[in-house]
Amino acid sequence: MRSIFLIAGLLCVLACNTDAPNQKSKIPENQNSDSTAAKEKEVQLTKEQANYLAQLPLKCMQQEYPNKLGQVVGDASDLQSPRSLHPSFYGCFDWHSAVHGHWMLVELLKRFPTIENADEIRKKLVENISKENIQQEVKYFEGKFNKSYERTYGWAWLLKLSESLYTWNDPIGKNLHANLEPLTQLIRNKYLEFLPKLYYPIRVGEHTNTGFGISFAWDYAKTLKDQDLMSLISQRAKDWFMTDENCPLVWEPSGYDFLSPCLEEADIMRRVLAPAEFDKWLNNFLPQLYDASFKLAPGQVTDRTDGKLVHLDGLNFSRAWVLFGLEKNGFGHKENLQRIANEHINFSLSNVVDGDYAGEHWLASFALYALICGE
């Protein structure tokens, strides 16, 4: 395992606290150091860090406001509170952040069953992912104006949550997976309906990115042996991306990116192509990844109280998880990709807990997934 050693107490002021927007985390010295060793320092998710990280989704998963609903209002009956509309996933500012906050807590419990507040985490998971609450979530998606709600970013995280519950060897996990299943199947069927109609892929660095949206869906389908979904994703990914060459990575990032269009495309193609075929494809698509001297600077954030500008911290984590996936599977220049991934994580990790809700409500999930991919 590649280890990324985080200094104890890195996340000690972690909290979803909107009453103290100017509170800042203590940044370890090496975060501000110009030394190469500090920037490339490897990381390991320890129980202590897990205890800190868990506090963000734990505190905000039942925090109703502030909230961004992102809904189309068909008539006055749609004007309801976030909790009424989404009794499972109303916390952490928006629906998709609530979903991946739940995913994060499940993943932390799977790795550290005796994590601090484990009983409270379990209690809140059971309260939120109840049969009755999921029935209401399904009802929302069946509304006339909600067919494309959270397509495909929120859809992807919902399937990732379902996959995590499915692989959790715990009675609560099995029950919650069963409770979530009606919504899971609705989202799974939405993929089957939508992907054949999407003629052109969406190559952006935000929520609608097609590569990201089908990568997590592929993982879910593979884990649950859903051959129909796997076959469709594989075919559509090849339809969209197989002939792509020389992706303009130098154009990235755009100002609001939390995903890399080039790297997300590589991430899904790594999944659907055979190793030899993908190696050839990647050499044509991003040949610089095979160069030991290739450099990729982390995204710079100028204002972490701005909900859009802080996206670039998320970009640093998502770049890292893609690069870890490539080097771990033997593609690109292994040592260099690992170095770049570590640099990106170290650049943004302390800012997960910078005290402002604009980043705190979601960045911990991105950080955790990057750390998991680096194991």
Compute the distance between CA of residue 123 and CA of residue 69 in angstroms, rounded to an integer.
25
- The model's pLDDT over 81-101, given as tens digits with 9 standing for 90+, comes to 999 999 999 999 999 999 999
- What is residue 295's predicted lDDT score, i.e. its pLDDT? 98
Counting residues of the chain whose pLDDT is more than 70, the rounded percentage is 89
Confidence band of 38 (pLDDT split at 50, 70, 90): low
Task: Assess whether pLDDT exceeds 50 at residue 320.
Answer: yes
Compute the distance between CA of residue 361 and CA of residue 60 in angstroms, rounded to an integer.
7
- The model's pLDDT over 137-165, given as tens digits with 9 standing for 90+, comes to 999 999 999 999 999 999 999 999 999 99
- What is residue 27's predicted lDDT score, i.e. its pLDDT? 28
User: Going by C-beta distance under 8 Å and a sequence separation of 6 or more, which residues neighbour residue 83?
Assistant: 64, 90
Task: Assess whether pLDDT exceeds 90 at residue 334.
Answer: yes
Mean pLDDT across 192-213: 98
- What is residue 354's predicted lDDT score, i.e. its pLDDT? 63
Give CA separation, 271 vs 19, 75, 222, in Å. Answer: 43, 43, 10
For residue 351, give the nearest of 297, 300, 304 by alpha carbon.
304
Task: Assess whether pLDDT exceeds 60 at residue 65.
Answer: yes
Task: Assess whether pLDDT exceeds 80 at residue 312.
Answer: yes
Peptide bond into 152 cis (omega under 30): yes
- What is residue 174's predicted lDDT score, i.e. its pLDDT? 97
The domain spans of the chain are: 244-375
- What is residue 41's predicted lDDT score, i.e. its pLDDT? 78
Average pLDDT, the chain: 90
**AA identity, residue 45:** L
Confidence band of 37 (pLDDT split at 50, 70, 90): low
Compute the distance between CA of residue 174 and CA of residue 220 in angstroms, rounded to an integer.
16
- What's this model's pTM, rounded to 2 decimal places? 0.90
Burial 70-107 (b: 16+ CB within 10 A, else e): ebeeeeeebeeebbebbbbbbbbbbbbbbbbbbbbbbb
Mean pLDDT across 10-33: 35
Helices (H) and strands (E) counted in the chain, each on its own, are: 16, 0
- The model's pLDDT over 206-232, given as tens digits with 9 standing for 90+, comes to 999 999 999 999 999 999 999 999 999
Compute the distance between CA of residue 187 and CA of residue 209 in angstroms, rounded to an integer.
17
3-state secondary structure of 67: strand
Question: Is the sign of the CA dihedral 42, 46, 156, 306 positive or negative?
Answer: negative
User: Going by C-beta distance under 8 Å and a sequence separation of 6 or more, which residues neighbour residue 178?
Assistant: none
